[in-house]
Amino acid sequence: MSGSSLDGLDIAFVQLEEVRGQWSYQILAADCIAYTDEWAYNLKHAQQLSVPDFLRLHTAYGRWIGGAVNRFIADKNLELQVQFIASHGHTVLHEPANHTTTQIGCGAAIAAITGLPVISDLRALDVALGGQGAPIVPIGDKLLFAQYDYHLNIGGIANITVPHNGKPLAFDVCPANQVLNTLAQKEGKTYDDNGTLAASGALLTDILLNLNKDAYYTRQAPKSLSNEAAISMAFPALLQSEHATQDQLHTMVVHIAEQVRDAVSKYPCGKEQAMMLVTGGGAFNGFLIEKLQQALAPLHIQVIVPDTDTVMYKEAIVMALIGALRWREETNVLSSVTGASRDSISGALWMGHSY
């Protein structure tokens, strides 16, 4: 899994078990392979390439993923234990209105390098069926994390799964870590560790009002954001201002918390006390979690941050589940979430070995 925050390639070796319809998982090994500056730049600017160069990057990135998986298997002593690879790739274009989404990282290349079966292109069929193709993690929320009422992932973009008419509904909420990280980089930091910079800042009321006015927030779910759309929502209101970085970070944190609150307030779960599972890199931002809990307290929703591995690798865990369901030819993307014309069994299968 590679997310919009571009911190690296998440790899999780996951053991999944299903007994009478009840799924469970165990992370047996996991790592985040940091991107070099060159890879981060190439992925971030992939959309600007010519068609031939784009296709070369697609292949090269797939071969790089394959090599990273091989090293992971060797380092963790997992030879002959991996049944298949489920690869999300990295999203470089997402236009569901045009029935188009692209995650680069060629599945055939990964299969050729690893000699293992590979399941890739996990979003394409849903988008072809008129869906948003995102978020796709709610199948994991339904099958692996059903004890929680709400499921919030704070990555480059914050997305959430909520209850709606007895079915899960999910959508992208707002820009998140990719904006916070961009602001932190102005201060020479990769990210705002624990939200320390944001906590030292002050709220910029006018900018907060401007951020909250974006038309995206008035749209009904299902809905999703491309990386470019998310960035354009937060900038230039922040980057073109002359306020201190700490104040901009503080304001963006409050914006995220308020948008999550506004989103879940439309989907009450009917409990006196509800629980929200929070994962993704933003779960390590103590100031953001504090502001989120304050915003949700009037709604009687308790924020739960799980163990570190689940926080870091939940999306990779769900990709493994999506791959397992595809292997079994069972539904792995829910139309109630994405707005597609039907549920789907999504993912292209590349056999990396011969018989």
pLDDT, one tens digit per residue, over 253-273 is: 999 999 999 999 999 998 999
Selected from 3.10.105.10, 3.30.420.40, 3.30.310.50, 3.40.630.180, the CATH number assigned to the domain covering 8-132+317-350 reads 3.30.420.40
Mean pLDDT of the chain: 93
Q: What is the reported pLDDT for 40?
A: 93
* % of the chain at pLDDT higher than 70: 99
What's the fold here for domain 138-310? Answer: Nucleotidyltransferase; domain 5 (3.30.420)
Q: Would the CATH topology of 8-132+317-350 be identical to that of 138-310?
A: yes
pLDDT surpasses 90 at 28? yes
**Three-state secondary structure readout of the chain:** CECCCCCEEEEEEEEEEEECCEEEEEEEEEEEEECCHHHHHHHHCHHHCCHHHHHHHHHHHHHHHHHHHHHHHHHCCCCCCCCCEECCCEEEEEEHHHCEEEEECCHHHHHHHHCCCEEECCCHHHHHCCCCCCCCCHHHHHHHCCCCCEEEEECCEEEEEEEECCEEEEEEEEECHHHHHHHHHCCCCCCCHHHHHHHCCCCCHHHHHHHHCCHHHHCCCCCCCCHHHHHHHHCCCCCCCCCCHHHHHHHHHHHHHHHHHHHHHCCCCCCCCEEEEEECHHHHCHHHHHHHHHHHHHHCEEEECCCHHHHHHHHHHHHHHHHHHHHCCCCCECHHHHCCCCCECCCEEECCCCC
pLDDT tens digit sequence for 300-315? 999 999 999 999 898 8
pTM of the model: 0.82
Domain ranges of the chain: 8-132+317-350, 138-310
